[in-house]
Amino acid sequence: MSVAATAGPDILSEEFAADPYRAYRVMREQHPLIWHEATQSYVISRYADVERAFKDPVFTSHNYDWQLEPVHGRTILQMDGREHSTHRNLVAPAFRGRDLMAKFLPVIEQNSRDLVDAFRRDGRVDLVDQYATRFPINVIVDMLGLPKSDHEHFHRWYSSIMAFLSNLSGDEQVMADGIRTKEEFEAYLLPIIRERRESPGEDLLSTLCSAEIDGVRMTDEEIKAFCSLLLTAGGETTDKAIASLMRNLVANPDQLEAVRADHSLIAAAFAETLRFSPPVHMIMRQPAEDVELSGGVVEAGKTVTCLIGAANRDPAKYADPDSFNLLRTDLDLGRAYTAGANHTAFCLGRHFCVGAMLAKTELDTGIAHLLDAMRDIRFDGAAPPEHGVFTRAPSSLLLTFTPA
């Protein structure tokens, strides 16, 4: 049977925005399948259902035709079958361990050091404003070989596109701003892509322009769309992951000191942050045929809102799921940054985030730099709340510290 009417918590309510985790518990236990009229989507919250929506081929990403294409153009996320595998293989090598470390680790390290050096002697920092929101965007701009003088343009475009993607309520002004940003980004980047085809360098944009598999190369529009997607997907996840990871560590001083003493634990702290307080809380899918999930049947072609934030705290999957514990044994650290992960923060299966290793490398580098620069880190006041529904993290993270 299908779900006939709306039931359970409303993902657009003020109560949900204030504390989604309480709502997630109610959803998992009492309303695992909700028809949400305002977003015209089914909402699922149990780990098993979200995992299936990400892995089962019956679930498509055709929802991105209306969700992403207006601001990005047609991206790799909208492709299926051979087209998807070919385009993924065109871009993936630049984000794998060997190439990533050899070509772009120095870019990552330098951007992190520059930002840390700007506040390391102050004894006080808003880590969101002065570091987290800037670090990943600056890295992406530099990886693409674009002028540092354009960093601020990218921050503005990034903010506008993310507002569009997070616009679950359908605000018309936000939609219009997003469309205008797409036009501005195209006017900026397409001429540069044409120049790199003629005179390639060692940067990521040149790599994308020259990549070829079985005679297939990306078009100018496809490269532009991928760069737009990288700007938001790569920027947003890393931005919010840094803020949430540092908040989680400062809120748990024993774990903070364990990571300070052993930087190899940063990867575990990041993986646990992805589970406990993921940067992205919901991703949509669309089944090609009727599918039975916990609580009922989802009809073919309907949108399914997969609640990552709920799935990652499902007690059927994790022990004591509402506690942050970087040493937990039910999170597979060996696969935490692969398509076989047993958390859902980077999606799973064929559409697993191609930039997962880039994010991990940025977190490994950035958190190490921050901990090396700051001692006796404390909240400047109360622990900051999280903000956001589609994506979520502290909007400000005021910390005091002793300069190292």
For the segment 293-337, what is each residue's pLDDT rounded down to a tens digit?
999 999 999 999 999 999 999 999 999 999 999 999 999 998 898
3-state SS track over 207-270 = HHHHCCECCECCCHHHHHHHHHHHHHHHHHHHHHHHHHHHHHHHHCHHHHHHHHHCHHHHHHHH
**The pLDDT of residue 289:** 96
For the segment 131-177, what is each residue's pLDDT rounded down to a tens digit?
999 999 899 889 899 888 887 788 788 778 877 877 766 778 888 88
For the segment 194-247, what is each residue's pLDDT rounded down to a tens digit?
999 999 988 889 988 888 777 778 889 988 888 888 887 777 789 999 999 999
Rounded to the nearest integer, the mean pLDDT of the chain is 88
What is the band of 4 on the pLDDT scale with cuts at 50, 70, 90? very low
CATH fit for domain 14-375, picks 1.10.3720.10, 1.10.630.10, 3.30.365.10, 3.90.550.10 = 1.10.630.10
Q: State both tokens at 345.
A: 């923060």
User: Do the bridges between strand 41-44 and strand 303-307 make them parallel or antiparallel, or are there none, so unpaired?
Assistant: parallel
For the segment 41-97, what is each residue's pLDDT rounded down to a tens digit?
999 999 999 999 999 999 988 777 766 677 777 776 666 677 767 767 677 766 666
Contact 117, 404 (CB under 8 A): no
Q: What does pTM read for this prediction?
A: 0.89
Q: What percentage of the chain has pLDDT greater than the value 70?
A: 91
**The pLDDT of residue 213:** 73
For the segment 20-45, what is each residue's pLDDT rounded down to a tens digit?
999 999 999 999 999 999 889 999 99
The angle subtended at Cα 108 by Cα 107 and Cα 112, nearest 5°, is 115
When mean pLDDT is compared over 5-9, 103-107, 125-129, 151-155, the highest value belongs to: 125-129
Q: Is the pLDDT of residue 1 over 70?
A: no
Cβ neighbours of 49 (radius 10 Å)? 25
Distance from CA of residue 165 to its chain's centroid? Answer: 12
